[in-house]
Amino acid sequence: MSVFGMVSSVAGFIKVRYLVDKALIDNMVFRAHYRVTSAILFLCCIIVTANNLIGDPIQCINDRGVPGHVINTYCWITYTFTLPHEQGKRVGTEVAHPGLGNENQEKTYHSYYQWVPFVLFFQGVMFYVPHWIWKNWENGKIRMITEGMRGSMVGVGEKQEREHRQYRLVQYLMETLHMHTSYAFGYFFCEALNFVNVMVNIFMTDKFLGGAFLTYGTDVVAFSNMNQENRTDPMVQVFPRVTKCTFHKFGPSGTIQTHDALCILALNILNEKIYIFLWFWFIILAVLSGLAIVYSAAVVLLPSTRETILKRRFRFGVPNAVETIIRKTQVGDFLLIHLLGQNTNQLVFSEILDEFVRRLNFGNSNSNLPSAPSTLEISPIYPEIEKFKETDA
């Protein structure tokens, strides 16, 4: 299978078409976790398993005492090692390769390269789990109550249909007022889970790479600013390209023979680039996720924040109406309204809020909305939601 074919198999995680066709049930930071990050990790997993990019992942040379395919397999499935005290010495005069030399000193063993594709795949799944939890918790509520209103509706017939759907949506908001607390809890829980998840992945990767990941990015940046003659590439220290391997076997007389091998880890050329990118991406994602939690906390704790969101983001600027919404709704209701604003255009959303405010102030009287059907002429919105569920099934 070609690399292009494998890469295209994960392209569905970045569903650009969903920005138009499907209901949005989260924010951009949330989507950066399960769409972008999961896709990146699965793509990296495919790249490191595509042998046609680099050839054999490991090739070892020895004194011909052991067949090449045997020593290659042995060193791959066990481990190789470097000598940390030999790092930073001049190649060609003091050492043959960075980290290689006299073995009578401390050794650093490397066996992570066997597990890189598995760990990357597992991390991709981890970044998708919070979305999966929230998607099942949300249970398609936004998609069902905004059906037919997510696009631009023009024309006389479509305007009448839009008003009909808006009326039913406002009716649903009134009938379920103050009943969305668990809905909001699920969203905020999964948002916090995103932040915890990215932090766990940072420390898990650091443990996986032997404690070198936390400072990996800063070390690489510092290396790029150092004098060319005096610098030691930190990527070569973490992901050595040439290592040593020791193979023992019995000789003709039954004595144990030791065979030293130099192993070229071509796969580390890819690994070092992948993990320097992941270091910067995880840091950026952690900062954004932390800011998203602060934003959500402000929404929950500060009514003024909710007021600003309605006025600045959704441009719903009627002062008395905004004050009514803030005063008479709870956090769960506001979250639902916020998600409605993401899934409808500004005109439709303003009309929905206008009618919602009128209902909050004057009850279900529809004297100001002559074109809309009366409450007696329309069944509750709950049967319609059940109808959508049966259609999906």
Report the pLDDT value the prediction gives residue 173, as an integer from 0 to 100: 92
Report the pLDDT value the prediction gives residue 387, as an integer from 0 to 100: 47
Pairing outcome for strands 58-61 and 242-250 = unpaired
Does residue 298 contact residue 305 with C-beta atoms inside 8 Å? yes
Report the pLDDT value the prediction gives residue 37, as an integer from 0 to 100: 96
Report the pLDDT value the prediction gives residue 228, as an integer from 0 to 100: 52
As a whole number of angstroms, the distance between CA 169 and CA 381 comes to 7
Report the pLDDT value the prediction gives residue 52, as an integer from 0 to 100: 57
Concatenate the DSSP letters of all residues of 192-231 into one string.
Answer: HHHHHHHHHHHHHHHHHTTS-STTHHHHHHHHHTS-TTT-
Report the pLDDT value the prediction gives residue 256, as an integer from 0 to 100: 85
AA identity, residue 253? S
Report the pLDDT value the prediction gives residue 381, as an integer from 0 to 100: 47
Report the pLDDT value the prediction gives residue 367, as an integer from 0 to 100: 44
Does residue 30 contact residue 292 with C-beta atoms inside 8 Å? yes
Beta strands in 206-255 (DSSP E): 242-250
Report the pLDDT value the prediction gives residue 220, as an integer from 0 to 100: 84
Query: Which residues contact residue 387 at a Cβ distance below 8 angstroms, ignoring those fewer than 6 apart?
Result: none
Does residue 38 contact residue 127 with C-beta atoms inside 8 Å? yes
Backbone φ and ψ of 389, nearest 5°: -65, -40
As a whole number of angstroms, the distance between CA 131 and CA 285 comes to 15
Report the pLDDT value the prediction gives residue 15, as an integer from 0 to 100: 52
Q: Residue for token digits 């908001």?
A: 173
Q: How many residues does the chain have?
A: 393
Report the pLDDT value the prediction gives residue 378, as an integer from 0 to 100: 35
Both tokens assigned to 213 = 């990941």
Both tokens assigned to 146 = 């905004």
- Beta-ladder partners of 108: 82
Which helix or strand (DSSP H or E) is residue 109 part of?
A: strand 108-110
Return the number of other C-beta atoms located less than 10 Å from residue 119's C-beta.
17
- Global pTM reads 0.81
Domain definitions of the chain by residue range: 3-392
- Each of the 393 residues of the chain gets a pLDDT tens digit; together they read 455 555 555 555 555 444 445 788 999 999 999 999 999 999 999 988 876 566 778 888 887 778 878 888 888 888 888 887 777 777 766 777 777 877 777 888 888 888 999 999 999 999 999 999 999 999 989 988 888 777 655 454 567 777 788 889 999 999 999 999 999 999 999 999 999 999 999 999 999 988 889 988 888 888 777 655 555 667 788 888 888 888 888 877 778 888 888 888 888 888 989 999 999 999 999 999 999 999 999 999 999 999 999 888 888 877 788 889 999 999 999 999 999 988 888 888 888 898 899 888 887 655 444 343 333 333 344 444 454 445 444
SS (H, E, C) 44-90: HHHHHHCHHHCCCCEEEECCCCCCHHHHHHHHHHCCEEECHHHCCCC
